[in-house]
Structure 1
Amino acid sequence: MAQNGPEFYDNDAVFTTYIARREKRDDSPNDTLEKPILDDLVGDLTGLNILDLGCGNAQFGREALQRGCRSYLGIDGSHNMITLAQETLAETSGEVEKATIEAWSYPAHQFDLVISRLALHYVEDIRPVFTNVLQALVDKGRFIFSVEHPVITSCDRAWQMGGLRQHWIVDDYFETGPRLTHWMGGDVIKYHRTVEDYFMALRQAGFRVDEVRESKPRPALFTDESTYARRKRIPLMLFFSAYRPAAS
Structure 2
Amino acid sequence: MRYKGASVYDDNEFFKDYLKRRNRKESPNNIIEKPVLMELIGDVKEEKVLDLGCGDAIFGLELIKQGCDFYEGVEGSLNMVEKAISTLKNSNSKINHCSIETWNFPDEEYDKVVSRLAIHYIEELRPVFKQVYESLKINGQFIFSVQHPILTASVKSANNSSLRTDWIVDDYFHTGKRVEPWIDKEVIKYHRTIEEYFLLLKSAGFKIDEIRECQPRAENFQNNEEYIRRMRIPLFLLFSCTK
Query: What is the TM-score of this pair, normalised by structure 1?
Result: 0.96
- 1:204 matched to which residue of 2? 203
Partner of 1:82: 81
Q: CA deviation at 1:22?
A: 2.4
Residue 135 (structure 1) aligns with: 134
Q: Which residue of 1 aligns with 2:6?
A: 6
C-alpha displacement of 1:169:
0.5
Q: Equivalent residue for 1:35? A: 34
Q: Which moved more, 1:46-55 or 1:88-97?
A: 88-97
Deviates more, 1:218-227 or 1:158-167: 158-167
Cα distance in 1 for partners of 2:8, 2:103 equals: 19
Residue 103 of structure 2 corresponds to 104
Following superposition, the deviation at residue 93 of structure 1 comes to: 1.4
8 A Cα contact 2:211 2:238, kept in partner: yes
Distance in 1 (alpha carbons) for counterparts of 2:241 and 2:92: 27
Whole-Å separation in 2 of the counterparts to 1:20 and 1:47: 32
Partner secondary structure for residue 3 of structure 2: coil
Q: Percent identity?
A: 46
Q: Deviations over 1:49-80 (max 9, x none)?
A: 10000001111211111111111000000011
Q: Contact 1:82–1:96 (CA<8 Å) still a contact in 2?
A: yes
Structure 1 residue 23 displacement after superposition: 3.9
Shift of 1:161: 2.8
Aligned to 2:84, what secondary structure does the other structure show? helix
Amino acid at match of 1:37: V
CA distance in 2, matches of 1:85, 1:53: 13
User: Quick check: 2:69–2:92 contact (8 Å CA) kept in 1?
Assistant: no
**Distance in 1 between residues matched to 2:160 and 2:60, nearest whole Å:** 37
Letter of the 1:215 counterpart: C
For the residues of structure 1 that align with 2:203 and 2:147, how far apart are their CA atoms? 21
Give the structure 2 partner of residue 189 of structure 1.
Answer: 188
CA 43–23 in structure 1, closer or farther in 2 if over 3 Å, else same: closer
- Which deviations, in whole Å up to 9, do the C-alpha atoms of 1:193-231 show, x marking residues without a partner? 000010000000000000000020011010000110111
Separation of aligned partners in 2, 1:15 and 1:130: 28
Residue 23 to residue 42, structure 1, CA distance change in 2 (3 Å): closer
CA distance in 2, matches of 1:162, 1:39: 30
Q: Is this contact kept in 2: 1:62–1:94, CA < 8 A?
A: no
Match of 2:221 in 1: 222
Aligned partner of 1:176 in structure 2 is 175
Give the 4+ runs in structure 1 shifted more than 6 A. none
Could you tell me how far 1:32 is from its partner in structure 2?
0.6
1:45 equivalent in structure 2? 44
Aligned match of 1:231 = 230
Q: How far does residue 5 in structure 1 lie from its aligned partner after superposition? A: 2.0
Secondary structure of the residue aligned to 1:172 is: coil
Distance 2:130 2:78 in 1: 26
Asked if the contact 1:13–1:185 (Cα under 8 Å) also holds between the matched residues in 2, the reply is: no
SS at match of 1:74: strand
1:168 to partner: Cα distance: 0.5
Q: Secondary structure at the match of 2:157?
A: helix
* C-alpha distance in 1 between matches for 2:68 and 2:24: 28
Which structure 1 residue ranges, 5 or more long, are not aligned? none
Q: Deviations over 1:107-153 (max 9, x none)?
A: 00000000000000100011100000000000000000000000010
Residue 13 of structure 1 aligns with an amino acid whose one-letter code is E
Measured in 2, the distance between the counterparts of 1:174 and 1:159 equals: 19
State the SS of the aligned residue for 1:139: strand
Q: Read off the aligned partner of 2:224 and give its amino acid letter.
A: E
Q: Name the residue aligned to 2:60.
A: 61
